[in-house]
């Protein structure tokens, strides 16, 4: 069995119910959900939206190889009302499931990049990841999730940004 780390999220419809339905579908169709973070509420990232997002990280033991896991996650998204349309990359959605890590593997294909390429830029990913895997070492960046989050938060709030002298 391999360990996959997924993040589920959305901001349309019954978001909390959709997160629960996604977790149940992942448990049925992907593998055993071994750990899950608390649900984090956040602003939209990469676009403007009135509705706030809810996100949750899941650590799953799975026998599915990465490409099949991706397909299964896309299927679950569709079951929960996700419609992918041409146009802007980011937008509101009922459900989004991203594959963050798969064991310590590095995959870079036309369809799939593991680890997810924007993990270190997104606190809505790092915060719940830190809750469940604080000491996990990112296989490309060679830093723990805790270190990546600390760096992101420091970059967003550099010392002295509040006008106080250091």
Of 7, 14, 27, 5, the closest CA to residue 81 belongs to 14
Given the residues 98, 122, 123, 149, the one annotated as active site: 98
Given the residues 82, 122, 123, 149, the one annotated as active site: 82
Whether 93 is catalytic: yes
Given the residues 23, 72, 96, 122, the one annotated as active site: 96
Place of tokens 């929960």: 80
Given the residues 23, 72, 93, 122, the one annotated as active site: 93
3-state secondary structure at position 17: helix
Whether 110 is catalytic: no
Whether 84 is catalytic: no
Distance between CA 124 and CA 32 in Å, rounded?
23
Using a 10 angstrom Cβ sphere, with 0-12 exposed, 13-18 middle and 19 or more buried, the burial of residue 131 is: middle
Query: What residues are annotated to the active site?
Result: 82, 93, 96, 98
């Amino acid at each position: 069995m391999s360990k996959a780390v997924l993040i589920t999220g959305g901001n349309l419809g019954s978001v909390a119910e959709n997160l629960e339905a996604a977790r149940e579908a992942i448990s049925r169709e992907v593998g055993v959900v071994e750990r899950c973070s608390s649900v984090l509420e956040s602003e939209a990232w990469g676009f403007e939206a009135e509705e706030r997002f809810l996100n949750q990280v899941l650590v799953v033991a799975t026998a599915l190889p990465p490409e099949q896991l991706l397909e299964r996650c896309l299927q679950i998204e569709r079951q929960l009302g996700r419609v992918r349309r041409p146009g802007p990359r980011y937008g509101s959605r009922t459900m989004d499931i991203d594959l963050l890590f798969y064991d310590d593997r590095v995959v870079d294909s036309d369809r799939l990049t593991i680890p997810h390429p924007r993990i270190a830029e997104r606190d809505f990913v790092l915060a719940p990841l830190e809750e469940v895997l604080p000491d996990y070492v990112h296989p490309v960046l060679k830093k723990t999730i805790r270190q990546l989050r600390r760096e992101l938060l420091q970059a967003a709030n550099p010392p002295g940004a509040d006008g106080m002298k250091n």
